[in-house]
Each structure stands twice: as C-alpha cells, then as structure tokens.
Amino acid sequence: MPADILIGTQWGDEGKGKLIDVLTRNVDMVVRFQGGNNAGHTVEIGDQKYVLHLVPSGIFRPGVKCIIGNGVVVDVPGLMAEMKDLTRRGLDVSNIELSDRAQLIFEYHKRADAIGEDGATVKIGTTRRGIGPAYSDKADRCGIRGIELTRPEHLEKLFRAQAAKYNRRFKAIGQPEMDIEQEWARIREAAAYLAPFVRNTVYSVNAMLSAGKNVLCEGAQGGLLDIDHGTYPFVTSSSTVSGGACSGAGIPPREVRDVWGVLKAYTTRVGEGPFPTEQLNATGEALRNVGGEFGATTGRPRRCGWFDAVASGYSCMISGVNKLAVTKLDVLDDLPELKVCVAYELDGKKTTQLPASALDLERVKPVYETLPGWQCSTADARSFEALPVNAQKYLRRLAELVHAEVAIVSVGPRRDQTFEVR
Ligand code: GDP
Ligand code: IMO
Ligand code: MG
C-alpha cells in the first residue's frame, strides 16, 4: 500500500487533527513530518477533548504506530509533558517513535524567538515556541538531533556549547542570560524519559510501506504558511505542503497515493500577515464565536473571513490535492448569504494568481461571488444528499474553484459528525 498525505490548505487550524483521527480507522501508521509544538490539533472523542502538539493524532486508535518524523522540531520537555499527560488520561504511548534525525528545541530557541518578536519592527506573530530559531540552527548545521537523547554525555556537551553561544548573543543585546545548569537539569530528565522512544523512523516507515500497510502523513500548519509558498515572511519555517512529507518522513514520492487537503469552509488566520478576505466586522465576529475560533496552542483569537479560492487554490495546486475534506460547514448554518473570493484585483487588473509579495497581497481587493445561505442546521447531516441544497451547491462551488473533489464533509467537532461523499 502506498502512503497518503493530509495537509492543511489554508493558514492552519482547518481541522487536521479531527480528520487524521477519523481516517486512522483504516491506517496502520501516522507520521508527523514537519513543524513542532506550534501546532495544536484538536480531537474530540465522546466528552473528551484532546489538543495534540507533537504526538500524531493517530494515538487514539490502539495499535496504530505514531511516528514523530525527521522533519519535525521537538521541544524536549514539551514532548515529555505531552506524553505524560496522555498517559495520565489513560492512553497508551508505547506506539510512539521519535526520529533520531528530528531536530531538538531547547529553551534558548524559545527565548530567541520571543526576543526576535518583541524587537521586530515587522512582527510575524509567532507562537513563540522556538520554531524559527530551531530550523535556523538546522540549516546552519549546529542543531542537536534526536539521536543525542540516547547518549546523555554527548548531549550535555552539545547542549552546553550551544547554550553558551546563545547566552553570549543574549548578553550582547542586553538580554538576561539563561541559567544553563537549571536548563540542563530539565533536559537531562526529559532526555532520560524520551530516549527509549528514539528510532531510525525512516526504516520503520519504509518497512510499513514494504509490508503493504497503510501509512498516513499528518501535516501541521497549512500551505499558506509554507516557508517557500506561503505569504512570506508571515509564514512558519518548514515545508507544510505535501512535498514536505517525502523529505520530512523519508518517503519516496513514487509511494504517495492520495493527497488529502483539509479545507475550512471559510478562512481563518492566527498571527500577522495579509488576509484579503478578512472580515473585521460582525460577520468576522459571528464566524469566530460560532466556530470557536481561538488558538488551540496560544488561545489567541483567530482572524476570520470568507473563503478565498485564489489562496486555497494555489495551495491545492502545489500540494496536488485530489481529495478534499471540507470542515466546519455547520459554522455557516445561520448566515443568509455567503461570499467566496474568486479573484483579486491588483492595481486595477483582475488576477486569479496568488502574488509572491506580501505587500501586494495586502493591497489586493477580493472579487467576490455571492451564494445563498441555507439557514438551517447541518450538524446532523450524515450524507451529501441530506444537506440542504444550498449547502450542496456551496460545496460543489468550492471544489470546482480549487480543482479537487470533495471526499469528506465535517459538520461538527466530533468523530461521528463526518461523512464521506461518494
Ligand atoms: P488543526 O490544527 O487543523 O487540527 O485544527 P484545530 O484543532 O486547531 O482547530 C479546529 C477546531 O475546530 C477544533 O476546535 C475542532 O474541534 C473544531 N472542528 C473540527 N471540525 C469541525 C467541524 O466540522 N465543525 C465544527 N463546528 N468544529 C470543528
Ligand atoms: P496547526 O498545525 C495556525 C502561525 C503563527 C504565526 C506563524 C509563524 O494547529 O494548524 P511559528 O511559531 O510557526 O514561527 O509562527 O505561523 N502558526 C499557526 N497558525 N495553526 C498552526 O498550526 C500554526 N503554527 C504556526 O500564528 O503566524
Ligand atoms: Mg491548530
């Protein structure tokens, strides 16, 4: 069996966690391939709500192998805390494997992230989890990787050298230095806890594929936050598009079968950066309140607006999305009419292409198409045919605009509030 990849097609928080949980019914392994604990993936099962940051969302299905792949950046005490919390809640974490090649995030990365944000004239609005500095160290070839968790003496040497380097930088700009002893004590404890989970996960993933098992790759963030393709510089620091799964998990491109694109029925964004269809008005507030649009990781209110087919279409194109999972359709239930951005106007010219420059994207005027709402509840619909006709039309139009088929619709946060479209 080949591998499937699931990615967010917008600016994150599309409902990837819920979809991974639903899809792992038929899956043997779930692999996170990029990002870190900047992600917040919510899964609701019965009356229990879980927010996962590094642990793959396949953890709720017994027997499913959960891989934290080589492309991930891992907050060492953060992952320990997350695994301990899941264990306390009765889940079995023994199926987790942590890549020996994954980059590790330490306190100095988080500090550097926060100092960078506080001092920047153009703020990105990061999650302050140290993501940018950790990927910078990786590219600069001075990062520390998962394998070192299994040899504490070497880890200590590398950690102390890096921490001292960061302290010199902090001092030079008048920032307080880190207490290296205190930090090392935290890392030593977490390393001892995590060491038994460290594996060469690339072999684990490829062995699964060779054995004909189903592997599902779990993207974090979304295509518009991609380091190359997103609204740079207002992006995260990893490859969030489907191609990132090949390098971030060690999967040959020829093994990939389906690319699932999770598409929220409207648009949200957390942090700074251009957002052409943002609604700074009662509509935006209604979407935020009805949709519960508050960050799963930082609690920040999410910016809300209409569906943007130019931006999402670009994202679906570069990821080669062939199956759409449209989420949060129910959030639109009460609206009398719905707008969909089908093009931009820039300097008096109409375009359906996403501009490279954030400055240009700030200036575009969305060209809207208006569709009628359905003004009744979709939360109990369990088939496409059971949806109000206007909701069916809305979904068909989104699919047409982004050139992919709707395969799954989600009408509420729970597992059962999902149906396949045949
Ligand atoms: P992720 O980062 O892509 O996994 O998404 P988040 O978990 O950050 O945000 C999605 C939020 O929407 C979570 O609170 C989910 O429980 C919730 N959710 C997911 N699907 C639906 C849906 O179809 N309808 C509603 N109302 N909520 C949903
Ligand atoms: P999930 O996986 C939404 C945003 C931040 C900020 C930018 C850079 O839950 O969809 P970073 O901390 O990565 O350097 O921040 O990216 N961001 C997310 N927004 N969902 C996420 O993850 C995000 N992860 C990062 O708000 O704008
Ligand atoms: Mg999220």
Sequence ranges of the domains in the chain = 3-99+198-260, 103-195, 263-420
> Quick one: pLDDT at residue 347?
96
Q: Is 130 in the pocket of ligand 2 (CB under 6 A)?
A: no
Ligand 2 atom 21: residue of nearest CA = 221
417 CA closest ligand 1 atom index: 23
Nearest Cα to Cα of residue 337 among 293, 381, 369:
369
> Quick one: pLDDT at residue 296?
82
Between the CA of 228 and the centroid of ligand 1 the distance, in Å, is: 26
Say if residues 93 and 59 touch (Cβ distance below 8 Å): yes
Ligand 1 atom 9: residue of nearest CA = 13
Between the CA of 225 and the centroid of ligand 2 the distance, in Å, is: 7
Low-confidence ranges of the chain (pLDDT < 50): none
Of the ligands numbered here, which is closest to the C-alpha atom of 134? 2
Ligand 2 atom 27: residue of nearest CA = 271
Q: Is 411 in the pocket of ligand 1 (CB under 6 A)?
A: yes
Say if residues 272 and 125 touch (Cβ distance below 8 Å): yes
290 CA closest ligand 1 atom index: 26
Between the CA of 413 and the centroid of ligand 1 the distance, in Å, is: 6
Specify the fold of 3-99+198-260: Adenylosuccinate Synthetase; Chain A, domain 1 (3.40.440)
> Quick one: pLDDT at residue 228?
98
Residue range 345-387, pLDDT digits in tens: 999 999 999 999 999 999 999 999 999 999 999 999 999 999 9
Q: Is 223 in the pocket of ligand 1 (CB under 6 A)?
A: no
> Quick one: pLDDT at residue 297?
82
* 13 belongs to the catalytic site: yes
> Quick one: pLDDT at residue 279?
98
Q: What span, in angstroms and rounded, lies between the C-alpha atoms of 291 and 333?
A: 11
Q: Is 312 in the pocket of ligand 1 (CB under 6 A)?
A: no
Termini Cα distance of the chain = 22
> Quick one: pLDDT at residue 298?
83
Nearest Cα to Cα of residue 312 among 362, 286, 277:
277
Find out whether the peptide bond into 233 is cis, omega within 30 degrees of 0.
yes
Residue range 52-90, pLDDT digits in tens: 999 999 999 999 999 999 999 999 999 999 999 999 999
> Quick one: pLDDT at residue 195?
98
> Quick one: pLDDT at residue 156?
98
Ligand 1 atom 18: residue of nearest CA = 413
Q: Is 412 in the pocket of ligand 1 (CB under 6 A)?
A: yes
Nearest Cα to Cα of residue 247 among 202, 200, 185:
202
49 CA closest ligand 1 atom index: 16
Spelled out in words, what is the top-level CATH class assigned to the domain 263-420?
alpha beta
Between the CA of 310 and the centroid of ligand 2 the distance, in Å, is: 21
DSSP 3: E
Q: Is 341 in the pocket of ligand 2 (CB under 6 A)?
A: no
Specify the fold of 103-195: Adenylosuccinate Synthetase, subunit A; domain 2 (1.10.300)
Between the CA of 367 and the centroid of ligand 1 the distance, in Å, is: 27
Which residue among 4, 21, 28, 41 is the active-site one? 41
Say if residues 96 and 54 touch (Cβ distance below 8 Å): no
